[in-house]
Amino acid sequence: AAAAAAAAAGAAIIAETTPTLVYLPFRAMAETTRMLFAYGNIPYRDEAIWGMVFHERRKSMEFPWGKTPVLKIPGFRTVAQSGALARYAAKQAGVYPQDPIACAMSDSIYELAQELCTINPLVNCFVGHQFHAIRADYFKNVLPPALIQLEIELTR
């Protein structure tokens, strides 16, 4: 009985200190944060919200800027914007650079990836002719020049 009580108390402490990532039931804008938490073995709760639950919580001003993803950090506050969440997770995982110049380069590559995430609607939303047209444009006109430029920047 004492061991069970100690385990329950430990679980309560972890719950009180574990951040909660709140997002829609998609990978999309929260996936980088999830991957960084996983890589660093950082405990977090992943809360998917949708429909009226999302609408009501947004209406109550729970989400800074009225959007998700957000990270609810116990004892602090709720932080918004996927880039801020990814940088937080990278720092927690010990993979964010210390050097300001390396930080700027890392952030630059991250922002390129954010621009390239226009593929998200292609994967998650479009079907039929619209899917094929958008896919063709993305893989012909959007991704190839970005990858060429990325290679140039990484080899400078």
Q: Express each pLDDT in 2-55 by its tens digit.
A: 666 555 555 555 567 899 999 999 888 999 999 999 999 999 999 999 999 999
Q: Express each pLDDT in 40-99 by its tens digit.
A: 999 999 999 999 999 999 999 999 999 999 999 999 999 999 999 999 999 999 999 999
Phi, psi of 143 (to 5 degrees): -70, -45
pTM over 0.85: no
Give SS3 for 21: strand
Bridge pairing between strands 45-48 and 78-80: unpaired
Cβ-based neighbours of 18, under 8 Å, separated by 6 or more: 43, 44, 45, 74
Nearest to 120 by CA among 85, 93, 154, 82: 82
Helix (H) or strand (E) holding 31: helix 31-39
